[in-house]
Amino acid sequence: MNELQVFSELHKFLAGLGPMEINLAPKSLTLGYSPRSFRGKAPKFATLYGEKRYNCLILHVDPGNKESTKGKIVQKEIQQLLHFNIIEMRNFSLKNHEVYIPFEVIDSKNRLELVKEFVRVQYNDVIR
pLDDT digits over 25-65, tens only? 988 889 999 998 767 667 889 999 988 878 999 999 887 78
> What CATH number is given for 3-127 in this structure?
3.90.1150.30
Q: pLDDT tens digits for 61-118?
A: 887 787 889 999 999 999 999 999 999 999 888 999 999 999 999 999 999 999 999 9
User: What is the residue extent of each domain of the chain?
Assistant: 3-127
DSSP string, 23-84: EE-TTSSEEEEEEEETTEEPPP-EEEE-STTT-EEEEESSTT-TT--HHHHHHHHHHHHHT-
